[in-house]
Amino acid sequence: MESLNPAPIMYLLIVWGLVTAVFIVLLIRKSLLESHEDDQIFLDAAEEHMAREQRELVARISALSRPITTMGIASGALLLVIAGMWLYEGLKNF
Protein backbone atom coordinates (compact mmCIF):
# COMPACT_ATOMS: atom_id res chain seq x y z
CA MET A 1 0.00 0.00 0.00
CA GLU A 2 1.55 3.28 -1.07
CA SER A 3 1.42 6.29 1.24
CA LEU A 4 -0.47 9.50 0.53
CA ASN A 5 1.55 12.39 -0.83
CA PRO A 6 0.19 15.33 1.17
CA ALA A 7 2.44 17.98 -0.37
CA PRO A 8 0.18 19.14 -3.26
CA ILE A 9 -2.92 19.18 -1.07
CA MET A 10 -1.04 21.02 1.68
CA TYR A 11 0.13 23.69 -0.77
CA LEU A 12 -3.40 24.10 -2.08
CA LEU A 13 -4.73 24.40 1.47
CA ILE A 14 -2.24 27.18 2.19
CA VAL A 15 -3.22 29.03 -1.00
CA TRP A 16 -6.91 28.50 -0.21
CA GLY A 17 -6.38 29.90 3.29
CA LEU A 18 -4.69 33.01 1.91
CA VAL A 19 -7.36 33.59 -0.74
CA THR A 20 -10.13 33.08 1.81
CA ALA A 21 -8.45 35.46 4.26
CA VAL A 22 -8.26 38.17 1.58
CA PHE A 23 -11.91 37.47 0.70
CA ILE A 24 -12.97 37.92 4.33
CA VAL A 25 -10.93 41.13 4.71
CA LEU A 26 -12.60 42.55 1.58
CA LEU A 27 -16.05 41.64 2.93
CA ILE A 28 -15.27 43.33 6.25
CA ARG A 29 -13.96 46.43 4.44
CA LYS A 30 -17.14 46.64 2.35
CA SER A 31 -19.28 46.22 5.43
CA LEU A 32 -17.45 49.03 7.21
CA LEU A 33 -17.86 51.32 4.23
CA GLU A 34 -21.56 50.49 3.96
CA SER A 35 -22.10 51.36 7.61
CA HIS A 36 -21.09 54.96 6.82
CA GLU A 37 -23.39 55.21 3.81
CA ASP A 38 -26.65 57.08 4.23
CA ASP A 39 -29.77 55.79 2.50
CA GLN A 40 -31.22 59.26 2.03
CA ILE A 41 -29.76 62.65 2.62
CA PHE A 42 -31.45 65.95 1.96
CA LEU A 43 -28.92 68.66 1.26
CA ASP A 44 -28.99 72.22 0.07
CA ALA A 45 -26.30 73.89 -2.00
CA ALA A 46 -24.20 74.77 1.08
CA GLU A 47 -23.77 71.09 1.99
CA GLU A 48 -22.44 69.93 -1.37
CA HIS A 49 -19.31 68.51 0.32
CA MET A 50 -21.48 65.98 2.18
CA ALA A 51 -23.05 64.87 -1.09
CA ARG A 52 -19.60 64.54 -2.66
CA GLU A 53 -18.42 62.40 0.27
CA GLN A 54 -21.42 60.09 -0.19
CA ARG A 55 -20.72 59.77 -3.94
CA GLU A 56 -17.08 58.90 -3.21
CA LEU A 57 -18.19 56.35 -0.64
CA VAL A 58 -20.57 54.71 -3.11
CA ALA A 59 -17.78 54.63 -5.71
CA ARG A 60 -15.43 52.87 -3.25
CA ILE A 61 -18.12 50.33 -2.37
CA SER A 62 -18.79 49.67 -6.06
CA ALA A 63 -15.07 49.26 -6.76
CA LEU A 64 -14.89 46.44 -4.19
CA SER A 65 -17.58 44.32 -5.84
CA ARG A 66 -15.38 42.83 -8.57
CA PRO A 67 -12.47 41.79 -6.26
CA ILE A 68 -14.96 40.32 -3.78
CA THR A 69 -16.63 38.27 -6.50
CA THR A 70 -13.27 37.12 -7.88
CA MET A 71 -11.94 36.09 -4.46
CA GLY A 72 -15.18 34.29 -3.60
CA ILE A 73 -15.12 32.29 -6.84
CA ALA A 74 -11.41 31.52 -6.43
CA SER A 75 -11.93 30.36 -2.84
CA GLY A 76 -14.81 28.10 -3.81
CA ALA A 77 -12.96 26.67 -6.81
CA LEU A 78 -9.85 25.94 -4.75
CA LEU A 79 -11.98 24.23 -2.12
CA LEU A 80 -13.58 22.03 -4.79
CA VAL A 81 -10.17 21.15 -6.25
CA ILE A 82 -8.84 20.25 -2.80
CA ALA A 83 -11.87 18.10 -2.05
CA GLY A 84 -11.56 16.38 -5.44
CA MET A 85 -7.86 15.66 -4.92
CA TRP A 86 -8.53 14.35 -1.42
CA LEU A 87 -11.30 12.05 -2.67
CA TYR A 88 -9.18 10.89 -5.62
CA GLU A 89 -6.24 10.03 -3.37
CA GLY A 90 -8.53 8.29 -0.91
CA LEU A 91 -10.26 6.21 -3.58
CA LYS A 92 -6.97 5.44 -5.31
CA ASN A 93 -5.54 3.98 -2.11
CA PHE A 94 -8.74 2.16 -1.21
Per-position pLDDT tens, the chain of length 94 = 455 567 889 999 999 999 999 999 999 999 998 887 666 666 667 677 777 888 888 899 999 999 999 999 999 999 999 999 999 988 988 8
Q: pLDDT value at position 41?
A: 63
Q: Are the CB atoms for 34 and 61 separated by under 8 Å? A: yes
1 found inside a domain: no
Chain centroid, CA 33 distance in Å: 15
Q: pLDDT value at position 51?
A: 78
d(CA 40, CA 10): 49
Q: pLDDT value at position 1?
A: 41
In sequence order, what are the residues at sequence separation of 6 or more whose Cβ sits closer than 8 angstroms to the Cβ of residue 37?
A: 54, 57, 58, 61
2 found inside a domain: no
31 found inside a domain: yes
40 found inside a domain: no
Q: How many domains does the chain have?
A: 1
Q: pLDDT value at position 6?
A: 72
- Which ranges of the chain does DSSP label H, i.e. alpha helix? 7-35, 48-92
Q: pLDDT value at position 65?
A: 94
Helix 48-92 vs helix 7-35: crossing angle, to nearest 10: 160
Residues of the domain holding 53: 8-35+46-92
